[in-house]
Amino acid sequence: MNEKEWFYDYVSPDMVQLHSIRQVVHSGKTEFQSIEIIESGGFGRCLVLDGKIQCSEADEFIYHEALVHPAMITHPQPEKVFIAGGGEGATLREVLAHQSVKRVVMVDIDKEAVDICREFLPSLHQGSFDDSRLELHYADARKHLKKKGDKFDIIILDIPEPIEEGPAYLLHTKEFYELVRHRLTSQGILCLQAGCSIWGNHAVFTAIIHTLKAVFPLVFPYQTHVPSYGGTWGFAFASQRLNPLHLTADEVNRRISLRTKKSLRFYDGLTHYGMFLLPKHLRAAIDKEKRVITDKKPLFIYQSAPA
């Protein structure tokens, strides 16, 4: 039997998930980060940034529908949407599925990474970059929001975890969340990926939730299982007025039917409620969390193999 090559995805210094590699489609380094696209045995093509799997062809629909639709469905009429990151185009794809959307401003710092994804991951973006509603900027999302005075109904942070010296660690701080709050309309919603929520490895998730609570009066953590990540993944919904749990499952389904132009594979009314039902140990960890992430004291995750 031929010996397989394996990609080591380090979840923590003490935990690793292995993915068999059938082919390395692309490997290189941009101005901001390392980028690989590998053809894995279990999940098809995977986007890897700075040694961490960001998404896979097989199960990306779980992650992206979970990230986008709870906020888009809860908002009464989302027309203007801001996306930070999301260079593979799948978050954009899900946003554009909503017929109410008139304008999407997407800001990604890494044009080379976006171009690579457009070439090698067409099944993810599905032509979304060609939609006339899109304004695509290659810039630092924080600087862009600070410079521009635009207000948005939905702001989505689809950015990498806070890796030291990576391009996104200052997009996970209290100061940045305060800037985001000022760029939301009165009924605006912030939604974001908030890191791993697996037992014993949820420090980023709980710290992000606690930091959001220092900025927004309404914060709702949620999670779902993403197989290519090796377990559950955390998200957050934050707003000054809107509560996602005020919608019934039937109302969620009604809004999906009326608003979207595609059939969703993961998200519906029951899934909406299920994601917000966190287990007792995770609720307890959030309640015990004391850390507020700041510019002066940022949070970093473990990046790669232990020395």
Please determine whether the domains at 5-55 and 60-288 fall in the same fold group of CATH: no
Q: What is the DSSP string of 252-290?
A: HHHHHHHHBSS--SS-SHHHHHHHT---HHHHHHHHH--
User: Rounded to two decimals, what is the model's pTM?
Assistant: 0.94
158 catalytically annotated = yes
Q: Tokens at residue 10, please?
A: 């380090």
Tell me: the pLDDT tens digits for 76-85? 999 999 999 9
CATH match for 5-55 among 2.30.140.10, 2.102.10.10, 2.40.50.1020, 3.30.870.10: 2.30.140.10
Instruction: Indicate if the pLDDT at residue 307 is higher than 50.
Output: no
Instruction: Map out the domains of the chain as residue ranges.
Output: 5-55, 60-288
Angle between helices 174-182 and 203-213 (to 10 degrees): 50
R_g of the chain computed on alpha carbons: 18
DSSP code string of 20-43: EEEEEEEEEE-SS-EEEEEEETTT
Residue of 158, 250, 287, 295 marked catalytic: 158
What topology is assigned to 60-288 in CATH? Rossmann fold (3.40.50)
Q: State both tokens at 49.
A: 């940034």
Segment 222-253, tens digit of pLDDT: 999 999 998 999 999 999 999 999 999 999 99
